[in-house]
């Protein structure tokens, strides 16, 4: 049986391991926290830092194949492991390109993939010489994750809060919709494209409210989005699964925002709403099986369950019973013992025939379910 | 977080633990084989014999809640644990009734639940005094499982192969179809009934070919089957999940064959074909959540993947790629290292709109996929 290691043991690892149990495979997880969501679902749990060269190298030497559930891993170790014959998904070179937002933007530019215009700044002092670029989005080169390391600089008054580190300063695009297209490729020229997902944001709070799939966009926009996602994946020259996040602007033009070279929140609905989930698909790629069917079984909506503001400590799920009673919901709780404001604690997928009904119900769930302590 | 233990670590435990990862729960498994399909998917694996009193008692003392994935467990220990406050699903008294086929048949008789006429025989010598009952089905009282412990005695010439143990001698019913109805009940009066499944047997080999759900039966037959399943579950007076296997005879009458007080092979399709799978449903019962929705998302067929005759050793899945390429199949391999003839190694679920298409495709898969060594 093939031995596959996962760097990181959060909810993505947890859902990967749920899907792994459909196949004959020996699983390994490397993570610093012995109580992480994935720790108990693998054959071999190794306690250690995914950013440390020796730790990752020694972990990787035990397995045939490696993957990641987060970008902040030691890529040098992965490159050495790859040179020694370990299969790594995504390839370390692709991961290096993606991991640093500066490299990622330069990659889009080099491959002529439409993305918001940008400049690279080395630090806060350099930023001060580019005040004409504001308003703009500043994205830190290394270390950003899950919305962290990204902020809007409206004008000179925001400079004091800017990141004092190498970063990208990106022109604000007039965003009409945010989309994600997940693509899997097995390195034998075969690709599978999932239906585009649409991120719906709260009009005032600018927080992700819920996701809808398939996205409610014109056919031509979908084609553009799929074409760009394919360009990104071809350009990265790596087998694996990739979530390409895109903007649709008010004119219907589509721009690549950023890419995750791994399973991604924008694909969690695929567990119940697609024939082959993003997690199943990655196992197929890694185990050398044919790609799965990415088509939608039904339209779906997805809400993240995040820790409510003002609560930290042992998690309690207020309103959970009401959501579990709904006949078309699938509740995923990640088993995290403690909550804190904004922490991802789970998600709910809804399936249905009618988009209006899904949107309405997503709103109801949003009001019902709160993670408190 | 609630601590839940499972007695047995086979594929049923494996699929239970896949579903458990959607909820906050600490899981324990007791099983003799450290490489069993469920061993690596729980928080705490305990090596030990589920039939041994002390082993089961000591295992159960660590947890809040217990369930089983096989009937051959130490019920005395479960009764003591229940008396000490551990919640056991199913209740030990119900398990004791079911576990012994003689008690089970007497239970149906007592509750006036239609079942094939039968007599109880103590041993082979006693059998010889009941030759007038043949042809009949002999079912051993204790220890039968998965088709073992059941055989047809056509006439006196079969006596030499009969079980020399307390058993049931059951009249042969003219079976037209075999059905299964899965019922969940949470002990607060709430029940959920899954659509009936139909077992389709090979006309010559008398082996289960595939399952279809919903069953292709007249509405009145379905109502009878559901009514009988409910009578069984009410009679057992236990929360949990129950698979009631039934016969439909040539006149459309329905008889209870036997009951499994646990998740069951006849419900594996519910993972993809129902809103709440049988595994999800049992967690809801055990964790005190509302019952899930048992309705079918789509019609489905299910085939078991069993070890091919003539092959024993490290399992290889011949034809697997062809099945994985089909857009509407869900392949579950149980991760068993070695195969032997007839061993359950996995299953394939197909979903589709059209029953004819499902039946045709089940036949194709049956021919394609073989477990060899």
Asked if residue B278 and residue B183 are part of one domain, the reply reads yes
Is A144's pLDDT higher than 80?
no
Angstrom distance (rounded) from CA A152 to CA A171: 10
Asked if residue A205 and residue A265 are part of one domain, the reply reads yes
Angstrom distance (rounded) from CA A37 to CA A21: 16
- Per the domain annotation, does B107 fall within a domain? no
State the SS3 of chain B.
CCEEEEECCCHHHHHHHHHHCCCCCEEEEEECCCCCCCHHHCCEEEECCCCCHHHHHHHHCCCCEEEECCCCCCHHHHHHHHHCCCEEECCHHHHHHHHCHHHHHHHHHHCCCCECCEEEECCHHHHHCCHHHCCEEEEECCCCECCECEEEECCHHHHHHCCCCCEEEEECCCEEEEEEEEEEECCCCCEEECCCEEEEECCCCCCEEEEEECCCCCHHHHHHHHHHHHHHHHHHCCCEEEEEEEEEECCCCEEEEEEECCCCHHHCCHHHHECCCHHHHHHHHHHCCCCCCCCECCCEEEEEEEECCCCCEECEEECHHHHHCCCCEEEEECCCCEECCCCEEEEEEEECCCHHHHHHHHHHHHHHCEEEC
Which DSSP string corresponds to A207-254?
SEEEEEES----HHHHHHHHHHHHHHHHHHT--EEEEEEEEEETTS-E
Question: Within chain A, where are the H helices?
Answer: 11-20, 53-60, 75-83, 92-99, 101-110, 124-128, 219-236, 270-273, 278-287, 320-325, 355-368
B233: containing domain: 175-372
Q: Which of B21, B284, B327 sits opposite A275 (nearest CB)?
A: B327
Asked if residue B269 and residue B229 are part of one domain, the reply reads yes
The residue with greater pLDDT, A284 or B353, is A284
Asked if residue A145 and residue A78 are part of one domain, the reply reads no
pLDDT of residue B112: 97
- Per the domain annotation, does B351 fall within a domain? yes
Q: Number of folded domains in chain A?
A: 3
pLDDT of residue B208: 73
pLDDT of residue B202: 75
What's the pTM?
A: 0.96
CA B65 to chain centre: 21
pLDDT of residue B232: 98
Q: In the beta sheet, which residues pair with residue B193?
A: B183
| Tokens, residue A20 | 């792994």
Q: How far is A162 from chain B (nearest CA, A)?
A: 39
pLDDT band at A201 (very low <50, low <70, confident <90, very high): confident
Contacting B with CB below 8 Å, chain A residues are 1, 14-15, 17-18, 21-25, 27, 40-43, 275, 284, 289-290, 292-293, 295, 297-298, 315, 320-321, 324-325, 327-328, 330-333, 335-337, 351
Asked if residue B202 and residue B56 are part of one domain, the reply reads no
Is A196's pLDDT higher than 90?
yes
Examine the fold and report which residue of B74, B89, B104 is the final residue of a domain before the chain moves on: B89
Asked if residue A128 and residue A158 are part of one domain, the reply reads yes
| Cβ–Cβ under 8 Å, residues B328 and A275 | yes
- Chain A positions in Cβ-Cβ contact with residue B1 (cut-off 8 Å): 335, 337
Pairwise CB contact (< 8 Å): B324 & A284 = yes
CA dihedral A9, A14, A15, A19 (to 10 degrees): 110
Q: How do beta strands A240-249 and A175-185 pair?
A: antiparallel
Asked if residue B256 and residue B241 are part of one domain, the reply reads yes
Q: What integer is the mean pLDDT of A128-154?
A: 86
**pLDDT tens digit sequence for B314-330:** 999 999 999 999 999 99
The 8-class DSSP code of residue B115 comes to B
pLDDT band at A149 (very low <50, low <70, confident <90, very high): confident
pLDDT of residue B209: 86
pLDDT of residue B204: 67
Angstrom distance (rounded) from CA B29 to CA B63: 11
Is B300's pLDDT higher than 90?
yes
Mutation target among B2, B6, B19, B23 for the A interface, most CBs of A within 10 A: B23
Pairwise CB contact (< 8 Å): B324 & A292 = yes
For the sheet with A65-68, list strands across it.
A44-47, A26-31, A3-7, A65-68, A87-89
Sort residue B282 into left (φ over 0), alpha (ψ -120 to 50) or beta. Answer: alpha
pLDDT band at A50 (very low <50, low <70, confident <90, very high): very high
What percent of chain B is predicted at pLDDT more than 90?
88
Average pLDDT over chain B reads: 95
Q: What integer is the mean pLDDT of B211-217?
A: 95
| Tokens, residue B322 | 């062809």
**pLDDT tens digit sequence for A14-42:** 999 999 999 999 999 999 999 999 999 99
Q: What integer is the mean pLDDT of A178-207?
A: 89
Other beta carbons within 10 angstroms of residue A299's beta carbon come to: 20
pLDDT of residue A90: 98
Q: Read off the CATH number of the domain in which B48 is found.
A: 3.40.50.20
Pairwise CB contact (< 8 Å): A289 & B320 = yes
Is B222's pLDDT higher than 80?
yes
| Cβ–Cβ under 8 Å, residues A156 and A135 | no
Asked if residue A237 and residue A153 are part of one domain, the reply reads no
Q: How far is A169 from chain B (nearest CA, A)?
A: 39
pLDDT of residue B173: 84
Asked if residue B355 and residue B236 are part of one domain, the reply reads yes
What percent of chain B is predicted at pLDDT more than 70?
98
ipTM: 0.94
The 8-class DSSP code of residue B74 comes to -
**pLDDT tens digit sequence for B67-99:** 999 999 999 999 999 999 999 999 999 999 999
Asked if residue A201 and residue A139 are part of one domain, the reply reads no
Pairwise CB contact (< 8 Å): A351 & B297 = yes
What phi and psi values does residue A148 have, to the nearest 5 degrees? -80, 150
Mutation target among B1, B4, B19, B24 for the A interface, most CBs of A within 10 A: B24
pLDDT of residue A7: 98
Asked if residue A43 and residue A7 are part of one domain, the reply reads yes
- Per the domain annotation, does B192 fall within a domain? yes
Q: Which of A24, A42, A275 sits opposite B335 (nearest CB)?
A: A24
Q: Which of A40, A292, A337 sits opposite B42 (nearest CB)?
A: A40
Q: Read off the CATH number of the domain in which A124 is found.
A: 3.30.1490.20
Asked if residue B146 and residue B31 are part of one domain, the reply reads no
pLDDT of residue B187: 79
Sequence-separated (6 or more) residues with CB below 8 Å from residue A265? A304, A344, A347
What is the number of H-type helices and E-type strands within chain B?
11, 22
Mutation target among A10, A18, A21 for the B interface, most CBs of B within 10 A: A21
pLDDT of residue A143: 77
**pLDDT tens digit sequence for A296-339:** 999 999 999 999 999 999 999 999 999 999 999 999 999 999 99
**pLDDT tens digit sequence for B92-130:** 999 999 999 999 999 999 999 999 999 999 999 999 899
């Amino acid at each position: 049986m093939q031995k596959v290691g996962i760097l990181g043991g959060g909810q993505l690892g947890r859902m990967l391991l749920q899907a792994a149990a459909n196949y004959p495979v020996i699983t390994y997880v490397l993570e610093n926290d012995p109580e992480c969501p994935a720790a108990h679902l693998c054959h071999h749990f190794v306690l250690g830092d995914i950013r440390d060269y020796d730790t990752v190298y020694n972990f990787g030497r035990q397995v045939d194949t490696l993957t990641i559930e987060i970008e902040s891993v030691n890529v040098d170790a992965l490159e050495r492991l790859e040179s020694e014959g370990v299969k790594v998904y995504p390839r370390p070179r692709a991961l290096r390109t993606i991991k640093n937002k500066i490299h990622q933007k330069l990659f889009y530019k080099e491959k002529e993939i439409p993305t918001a215009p940008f400049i690279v700044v080395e630090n806060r002092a350099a930023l001060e010489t580019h005040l004409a670029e504001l308003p703009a989005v500043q994205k830190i080169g290394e270390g950003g994750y899950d919305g962290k390391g990204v902020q809007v600089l409206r004008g000179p008054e925001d400079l004091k809060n800017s990141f004092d580190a190498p970063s990208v300063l990106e022109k604000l695009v007039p965003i009409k919709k945010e989309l994600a297209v997940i693509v899997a490729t097995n390195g034998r020229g075969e690709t599978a494209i999932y239906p585009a997902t649409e991120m719906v944001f709260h009009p005032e709070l600018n927080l992700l409210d819920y996701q809808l799939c398939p996205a409610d966009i014109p056919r031509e926009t979908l084609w553009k989005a799929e074409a760009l996602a394919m360009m990104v994946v071809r350009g990265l020259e790596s087998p694996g699964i990739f979530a390409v996040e895109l903007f649709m602007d008010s004119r219907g033009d589509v721009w690549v925002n950023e890419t995750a070279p791994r399973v991604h929140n924008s694909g969690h609905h695929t567990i119940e709403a697609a024939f082959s989930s993003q997690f199943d698909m990655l196992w197929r790629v890694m185990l050398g099986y044919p790609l799965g069917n990415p088509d939608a079984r039904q339209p779906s909506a997805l809400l993240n369950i995040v820790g409510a503001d003002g609560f930290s400590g042992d998690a309690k799920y207020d309103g959970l019973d009401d959501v579990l009673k709904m006949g078309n919901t699938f509740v995923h709780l990640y088993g995290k013992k403690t909550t804190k404001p904004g922490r991802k604690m789970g998600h709910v997928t809804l399936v249905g025939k009618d988009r209006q009904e899904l949107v309405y119900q997503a709103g109801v769930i949003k009001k019902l379910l709160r993670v408190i302590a």
